[in-house]
């Protein structure tokens, strides 16, 4: 039987590995997706640093187990910043494609590839 911590660590590793793979691609859209996945992985990592609590109150009511609200607040803030950053990076990618006529990350095509303009 696999524990919840091991399952979350495995899922976080898969999302991070997929994000790194997409970051290393030559086109701008996979790079944007990779940045987004890395951002999601960081958000989940920050959230998991607050520990996985079961039946814990978010607010101190009486003597008992209380979940830490700081990681939750940090992740909510990071989600908003991540949306804004993703929109900005997509706009940069679209502008680069318009200026260069290609969506390759360095603006140049290799000899064996064709521009899909």
Taking only the tens place, the pLDDT of each residue in 48-100 is 887 776 777 666 677 777 677 788 888 899 999 999 999 999 998 889 888 88
CA distance 65 to 59: 10
Instruction: Look at residue 51 and give its three-state secondary structure.
Output: coil
User: What is the model's pLDDT at position 117?
Assistant: 44
Phi, psi (rounded to 5 degrees) for 99: -70, -40
For residue 13, name the pLDDT band (cuts at 50, 70, 90). very high
Strand partners, 96: none
User: What is the model's pLDDT at position 80?
Assistant: 93
Stretch 29-47: mean pLDDT: 91
Do residues 58 and 67 lie in contact, with contact meaning Cβ atoms separated by under 8 Å? yes
The phi-psi region of residue 95 (left if phi > 0; otherwise alpha if psi is between -120 and 50; otherwise beta) is alpha
CA distance 105 to 52: 39
Q: Is the pTM of this model over 0.85?
A: no
Average pLDDT over all residues of the chain: 83
């Amino acid at each position: 039987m696999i524990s919840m911590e091991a399952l979350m660590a495995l899922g976080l590793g898969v999302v991070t590995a997929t994000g790194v793979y997409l970051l290393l691609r030559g086109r701008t859209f996979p790079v944007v997706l990779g940045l987004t996945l890395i951002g999601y992985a960081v958000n989940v990592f920050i959230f998991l640093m607050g520990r996985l609590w079961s039946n814990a109150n978010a607010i101190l009511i009486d003597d008992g187990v209380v979940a830490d609200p700081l990681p939750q607040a940090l992740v909510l803030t990071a989600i908003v910043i991540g949306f804004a950053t993703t929109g900005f990076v997509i706009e940069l990618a679209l502008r680069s494609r318009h200026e260069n006529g290609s969506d390759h990350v360095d603006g140049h095509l290799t000899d064996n590839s064709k521009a899909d303009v």
